[in-house]
Structure 1
Amino acid sequence: MVNAYVPGKGDLPPDDAALVARRQAALGPAYRLFYETPVHLVRGEGVWLYDRQGEAYLDTYNNVACVGHCHPHVVQAMTAQAATFASHTRYLHDTVVDYAERLLATMPAGIGHMMFTCTGSEANDLAFRIAREATGGTGIIVTENAYHGVTLAVAEASPSLGTGVPLGAHVRTIPPPDPARLGPDVGTAFAAEVQRAIDDLKRHGIRPAALLVDTIFSSDGVFADPPGFLAPAADAIRAAGGLFIADEVQPGFGRTGAGMWGFARHGLVPDMISMGKPMGNGYPVAGLAMRPDVIAEFGARARYFNTFGGNAVAAATAAAVLDVIEDEGLIANARDVGAYLRDGLADLCRRHETLGTIRAAGLFIGADILTDGKPDGARAVRVVNALRRNRVLISASGPRGESLKIRPPLPFSRANADLFLDRLDQALKAN
């Protein structure tokens, strides 16, 4: 894992070192902490997080709290519903139906059903089950450094988890839509990679079930342009009898500044759409939207129930998130501040040879860190940790951890962007 604390290292004060030791004893060896020296946070507000000493950290990474940390409207909706009624979808209650109808209204007309889970991992796991029933296939195609979740089925299709989590025999990986690798006609080249994966699955007697992509390719390093390049790939998987699943866990809910959903930039309608992280602004809410014909066979043969998926508190909280996105104009803000931030990064790129290609859509930006013109993950980690020391929180992605992953809460302002750019300028000068 890039940007991770190594136990026993880092400049930890005694109290934090003791907490790390307690954490390791209680939680075991599989958990990780960010940064060479972890941040001990105690509260959040808007785009800021605060440590025990009251120091403020600018959050340029956390899209879970997409409408800002501890937004009062979301907190009020959550607590009011928890104090009124909290139960699952096997009882009639208006809240989940109202929310489902409202969410579906943000999607293309062909998307007609919503199913609710607690996490994006569960949503993608459910998508796999439905795709297998709908197509009769088991083959899954993902990009080389994709992350789609942590359940057994989905972890087998998440190569970014590393060699300790083997890919499934039914999984094929393809290069991300990087013009530096695939050439300027990204759409045609990416579709050709999908077709090669389809052909390889068939050679091994595996029928294709789905192409699953995060529509901003966040774990691969962020690839957003040109809009429309995904459509030929979707056509290729459908021609082979499979489905196109858009993983909107990271690009969804207005982050790209071009509407609610990342796939909309590509002028296509997915067969299924998974969503999670920002949906509840920190409350565990996730879901899967789909075309009605895709779920018909699964629904006839099986039943779906999730004790907490779609519960009344989750639905009320998620509805409040939609309120804030709409009332505060956060999609337009993502577009406008995202463009401002991208221009600022382009200016830094002209002044620092260590800052490479900028790839962006709204408030989702990838920026390569280079040495002698080549991606350098070790230097990116140094930059990330320099920013952390200067109280700006960020992380990195890409196959070597070489790409800064800039993904702040949607209320991020131009003043916040200026502060980030100034601190990044300092980090680049020092590293």
Structure 2
Amino acid sequence: MSLEKFSKETTLAMRKKLIGHSCRLFFSEDPVKIMRARGQYLYDEQGRRYLDCISNVHHVGHCHPAITQAAAVQMDLLNTNTRFLHDHIIHYADRLAATLPDKLGVFYFVNSGSEANDLALRLARQYTQHNDVIVLDHAYHGHLTSLIDISPYKFRKLGPQKEWVHVAPLPDTYRGKYRNSDPDPGQAYADTVKDLILEVHKKGHKIAAFFAESLPSVGGQIILPEGYCAKVAEYVHAAGGVFVADEVQVGFGRVGSHFWGFQLQGKDFCPDIVTMGKPMGNGHPLACVVTTQEIAQAFTDNGVEYFNTFGGNPVSCAIGLAVLDVIEEEDLRGNACLIGGHLKQLLLQLQKKHAIIGDVRGAGLFLGLELVKDGAQQTPATEEAAKLVKRLKEELIIVSTDGPWENVIKFKPPMCFSIQDAELVAEKIDTFLSGITDSVERKGT
């Protein structure tokens, strides 16, 4: 079937008519119409090439030939209901298990990060026989009703917080209550969770789970302080709950030094449940939950079958296996260390030059550049961040903002990002900031 090719204006007009307006586009005032992509580049209807700095979904690069070939070959051979026995799902689970701590060895395959986090919530409640959940402030865990309820980023805009949801402070060592200058910010932030658990118990409630992104992204590209997760897990376990690590955005080697973001917290920490999504299918809908034998057995013992028609189907698993192959064969973790480290150093150099850069943080190809109007007061430079995003788009570079005040420029590009890409981004940011920093006075750090 040949589809008619519309002009950009016609496509936009028809979208406004046919698609729900809450489904927003990047650059809503002048959206980019993308026709094709390859690697870290996007091409619009006029053939202009954009550098993609945010598509962590297309983990190993847009339209990677090894991925498209694996999908086509398997689709031509078999794609069927997941209740039929097939080798791919076993091979894939075994490959994933090799990247994880030994205790995490039982897999449930689903189709999206939201599905994964919803299932993790069910697993936690079945295992603990408790109901309440602790989450970090500004967190986002998915778009299902159950996950909106535990995502402060969303539910604060929609209505009252559920009585079974409890919000712990975001461990932000740049602008939070406890900072890098404190003796042990990891312990201090963990103790806020301990205090919250005590409050929950006083109300007669019990904790089923503590949910946290291994590196909070919507919260502003946050790197959790050393020791935080191990101490929180200790407190949560003592309360009869489990620790759920949300790796939907940051898993599969994005941090470079490790395969999983939670591994940045050291060998003393291992979650009870890990959720995965976005990058594992390189754009194909593929997600997963992995947990312990004990938690999985409790879920089985409830007498209710868990069935997912498409989760773990042969085509999805073929794609997942191909993604793992590319990560290894192209040493994309090594690339994340090298290129991410280079980009971070370039941004740190810009921080010395431009007072508006309050903080540079991140690991591998997960980086955040926080803009502030005043170094001492840390007043969010929200308007300036939006202008920077717009200006970079004019230079054919795609970035976006995150954080509670939308003043953090985030970098989560495809893992094939290059030295030249990093230097181009830093050069263009430098040029733009040089034109606006006259209005920003350095009053502190």
TM-score (norm. length: structure 1): 0.94
- Structure 1, residues 77-119: CA drift from partner, whole Å, max 9, x if none? 0111111000132000101111011111110011110100100
- Name the CA distance, whole Å, in 1 between partners of 2:93 and 2:203: 40
Q: Which residue of 1 aligns with 2:439?
A: none
Per the alignment, residue 366 of structure 1 pairs with 368
**Other-structure match for 1:337:** 339
Instruction: State whether residues 125 and 208 of structure 2, in contact with CA within 8 Å, keep that contact through their aligned partners in structure 1.
Output: yes
Letter paired with 1:177 = P
| Separation of aligned partners in 1, 2:334 and 2:42 | 24
Quote the residue 2:292 is aligned against: 291
Task: Give CA-to-partner distance per residue, 1:221-259, whole Å, 9 cap, x none.
Answer: 122254433211111111111100000011100000122
Q: Paired residues, what number?
A: 418
CA contact (8 A) 1:88 1:309 kept: no
Q: Match for residue 8 of structure 1?
A: none
Q: Specify whether residues 162 and 354 from structure 1 end up closer, same or farther in structure 2 by C-alpha distance, changes over 3 A only.
A: farther
Structure 2 residue matching 1:83: 3-state secondary structure: helix
CA contact (8 A) 2:171 2:225 kept: no
Gap change, CA 1:162 and 1:53, over 3 Å in 2: farther
Q: Which runs of 5+ in 1 are unaligned?
A: 1-13
Measured in 2, the distance between the counterparts of 1:297 and 1:388 equals 50
Q: Secondary structure at the match of 2:228?
A: coil
- Within-5 A mapping of 1:41-56: 41-56=34-49
1:127 matches 2:129: no
Question: Residue type matched to 1:411 in 2?
Answer: C
**How much is the aligned-residue C-alpha RMSD, in angstroms?**
1.4
2:94 to 89, 98, 101: 101
Contact in 2 for aligned 1:178/1:186 (Cα 8 Å): no
Cα contact 2:187–2:227 (8 A) shared by 1: no
Q: Does 1:33 align with 2:25?
A: yes
Task: Give the conservation status (yes or no) of the 8 Å contact 1:156–1:165.
Answer: no
CA offset at residue 172 of structure 1? Answer: 1.1
- Structure 1 window deviating more from structure 2 (162-171 vs 372-381): it is 162-171
Q: Shift in Å at residue 307 of structure 1?
A: 0.8
Q: 2:149 touches 2:155 (CA, 8 Å); kept in 1? A: no
Cα distance, 1:25 vs structure 2: 1.5
Q: CA separation of 1:162/1:39 partners in 2, compared to 1, >3 Å: closer, same or farther?
A: farther
Alpha-carbon distance, 1:162 to partner: 5.2
CA distance in structure 2 between the aligned counterparts of 1:407 and 1:29, rounded to whole angstroms: 26
Which residue of structure 2 lines up, in the alignment, with residue 351 of structure 1?
Answer: 353
Counterpart code for 1:236: Y
Map 1:78-117 → 2, pairs under 5 A: 78-117=71-110
Does the residue aligned with 1:49 lie in a helix, a strand or coil?
strand
Contact 1:40 1:52 in 2 (8 A): yes
Alignment partners' CA distance in 2, 1:162 and 1:113:
31
Q: Distance in 2 between matches of 1:201 and 1:18?
A: 54
Structure 2 residue corresponding to 1:385, chosen from 369, 385, 390: 390
* Counterpart-to-counterpart distance in 1, 2:351 and 2:65: 38
Q: Mean Cα displacement is larger for which, 325-334 or 170-179?
A: 170-179
Residue pairs, 1:320-335, within 5 angstroms: 320-335=322-337
Q: Deviations over 1:325-345 (max 9, x none)?
A: 000000111111111111000
What aligned pairs does 1:177-256 form with structure 2 within 5 A after superposition? 177-179=171-173, 180-181=175-176, 182-183=178-179, 184=182, 185-224=184-223, 226-256=225-255
Structure 1 residue 60: deviation in Å?
0.7
Residue 137 of structure 1, aligned match among 114, 117, 130: 130
Looking at structure 1, the residues matched to 54 and 382 of structure 2 have their Cα atoms a distance apart, in angstroms, of 18
Greater alpha carbon shift after TM alignment, 96-105 vs 169-178:
169-178
- Return the alpha-carbon distance in structure 1 between the equivalents of residues 319 and 54 of structure 2: 22
3-state SS in 1 of match to 2:336? helix
Equivalent residue in structure 1 for 2:410, among 365, 387, 405: 405
Match of 1:316 among 315, 318, 333: 318
List alignment gaps of at least 5 residues for structure 2.
Answer: 1-5, 437-445
Q: Are the counterparts in 2 of residues 155 and 165 from structure 1 also a CA contact under 8 Å? A: no
CA–CA distance in structure 2, aligned partners of residues 51 and 66 of structure 1: 20
Separation (CA, whole Å) in 2 of partners of 1:427 and 1:320: 39
* Secondary structure, counterpart of 2:77 in structure 1: coil
- Answer whether contact 2:245 2:273 (CA < 8 A) is retained: yes
- Counterparts of 1:253-292 in structure 2, within 5 Å, are 253-267=252-266, 268-292=269-293
Q: In the alignment, which residue of structure 2 is the partner of 1:24?
A: 16
Matching residue's letter, 2:25: L
**Distance change in 2, residues 1:195/1:225 (3 Å):** closer
